[in-house]
Amino acid sequence: MEYTLEYEAAQKLAVTAAKVLQPRSPIRTRELFAGRWNELTTVANSVAEVGLHALIYGERGVGKTSLSNVIAPTIWAYDDTDPPAPNPKLRLVIKAVTSSGDDFAALWEKLFKEVLWRDDKPTSGFLPGPKPAVNILQAYGLQQQSLTVDTVRRVLTSLPEGVFIIDEFDRAAPETSREFTDLIKALSDLAVDVTIVLVGVADTVDKLIADHASIGRQLVQVHLPRMLADELRGILTYAEKSLPVKFNDEASDLIIKTSQGLPHYTHLIGLESIRHAALKRYSSQITRMDVFEALKTAVKHAEQSTAAKYAKATHSAQKDALYKQIILACAITATKSMDSMGYFNPAALGPTLGKILNRAVTVATFNNHLSDFMHAKRGSVLEREGQARSYRYRFQDPLLVPYVFMHSLATGLITDKELLKMLV
């Protein structure tokens, strides 16, 4: 296969790659959504069964919002008939994003304002034609009322087969989860053909919705763990099918390891790797060198909050301070850990840190630093579980791990060859 690109083809590839690999916004179409098929099917099946609702939860950065964005087209595909109907009816699917402190009434006001009422039928989106459309709140005269659980239940009863998705539910006011529990129980008990899908950052269901045991049979719990290597590889495979590119094995493995199970970084590093290969080498084959250059570039595009956490964790007025080296060792150890929740054993930290410092180290070299990384003065970048002498650590924000690699390469703390050798 010929990988050399002409100037115009290289420029075009650098632009079109961003239509396939989309790190800066959640995926919105099924065609671009690689992986998570089992979870997506589980949600779609819950919509099809009256009385079931869904809760999607997991760490930040694992793709929850992207999953919620493709629920609608997936449901519509499931609803389609065989042979296809001439004018298929699309199920009403409405989504709202929680703002910090939103209560039960505020969330349902957001959702109901998206439901337009025309000709005694609910719909959504902009509608052409001379007849004015009003939203549900206006149609039911609820603009001046605070929406209660019972009021919302009555409105939802008039919206058969509706699906209401609430993203970033963890940002809602504390008491909100209990009201949603009451609403889901009422809808299920009365067999109302409406589905509520809650989406939020949490390690466990307990942290997201109160008294969930009381609606255990009515709530399908969909945990989104970090993506497996094969699922991340599927993102790159889709890019190869959609674009005239080829990731060699070394480049593909490096992107997957660096991504730490987070699809956002697979998209980001993959995109920047393609652009480097196309614009700097006029090639459609992505190599290890393109990936390392992409990591350096990606530092500039990282979220400001992630960069600020790294700066707070590693800042020191002392030139011989080891915070940057130790957090790099933590990131490498976490990457090599087989734990699905990202925990690593501090005993494995010593050999890696020794390679970074090029000298022998003991637990005393980094033990205090691990404690510091757990406290606010260092941004609380690490969290710990277990008992003394058997502690395990992980990064509180999983997005920080790839950023540590990016920043370390960009500042010369470690070379690409050294990092690759430690990661494999």
- Domain identity same for 191 and 255: no
Residue linked to tokens 């500042």: 411
CA atoms 117, 121, 127, 129: torsion sign = negative
What is the DSSP code string of 325-372? HHHHHHHHHHHH---TT--B-GGGHHHHHHHHHTS---HHHHHHHHHH
| CATH number of the domain that residue 372 is part of | 1.10.10
Do 269 and 309 reside in the same domain of the chain?
A: no
Range of the domain at 240: 7-22+228-301
Out of 167, 194, 224, a domain closes at 224
Q: Which residue has the higher pLDDT, 228 or 301?
A: 228
pLDDT band at 144 (very low <50, low <70, confident <90, very high): confident
Give residue 33's pLDDT.
57
Q: Does 359 map to a domain?
A: yes
Residue 192: predicted pLDDT: 94
Write out the H or E segment, with its range, that includes residue 54.
Answer: strand 53-58
Q: Is the pLDDT of residue 120 over 70?
A: no
In a domain, 2, yes or no: no
Q: Are residues 256 and 394 in the same domain?
A: no
Q: Which of 265, 285, 301 finishes a domain?
A: 301
Most confident of 72-76, 81-85, 125-129: 72-76
Report residue 373's pLDDT band, with 50, 70 and 90 as the boundaries. Answer: very high
pLDDT of residue 124: 63
Model's pTM, two decimal places? 0.75
The mean pLDDT of 392-412, rounded to a whole number, is: 86
Query: Do 148 and 41 have their domain in common?
Result: yes
Instruction: Kindly state whether residue 77 falls inside one of the protein's structural domains.
Output: yes
Same domain, 284 and 380: no
Mean pLDDT of 4-32: 80
Dihedral, CA atoms, 21, 25, 29, 32, nearest 10 degrees? 10
Last residue of a domain, one of 268, 301, 334: 301
Confidence of residue 83 (pLDDT cuts 50, 70, 90): very low
Exposure string (b/e) for 361-397, b if CB count within 10 Å is 16 or more? beeebbeebbebbeeeebbebbeeeeeeeeebbbbbb
Q: Residue 195: exposed, middle, or buried by beta-carbon count in 10 A (0-12, 13-18, 19+)?
A: buried
* Shared domain check, 88 and 72: yes
30 is a domain residue: no
Mean local confidence (pLDDT), 130-140: 75
Question: Are residue 124 and residue 158 in the same domain, yes or no?
Answer: yes
Residue 1 lies in a domain: no
Give the least confident one: 130-134, 209-213, 217-221.
130-134
pLDDT over 70 percentage in the chain: 89
245 and 187 belong to one structural domain: no
- Do 356 and 265 sit in the same domain of this protein? no
Amino acid at 376: A
- For residues 170-197, give the mean pLDDT: 92
Higher pLDDT, 30 or 11: 11
Considering the chain, what percentage of its residues have pLDDT values greater than 90?
45
Mean pLDDT of 271-275: 95
User: Average pLDDT over the chain, rounded to whole?
Assistant: 85
Per-residue pLDDT tens over the stretch 226-254: 888 888 898 899 999 999 999 999 999 88
Mean pLDDT of 181-207: 90
137-150: average pLDDT: 86
CA gap 102, 270 in Å, rounded: 36
Mean pLDDT of 157-166: 91
- Domain at 70, CATH number: 3.40.50.300
Check residue 210 and give its pLDDT.
74
Q: Is 266 part of a structural domain of the chain?
A: yes
Residue-level pLDDT at 275: 96
Give the pLDDT of residue 271.
94
Q: Are residues 184 and 66 part of one domain?
A: yes
Residues 132 and 218 grouped into a single domain: yes
Based on the domain organization, do 56 and 139 belong to the same domain? yes
Domain count, the chain: 3
Q: For the residues of 373-418, what is the DSSP string, one character each?
A: HTSGGGTT-EEEES-TTS-EEEESSTTHHHHHHHHHHHTTSS-HHH
User: Average pLDDT in the 146-174 region?
Assistant: 92
From 27-36, 217-226, 371-380, the region with the lowest mean pLDDT: 27-36
Instruction: Kindly state whether residue 27 falls inside one of the protein's structural domains.
Output: no
User: Between residues 40 and 371, which one has the greater pLDDT?
Assistant: 371
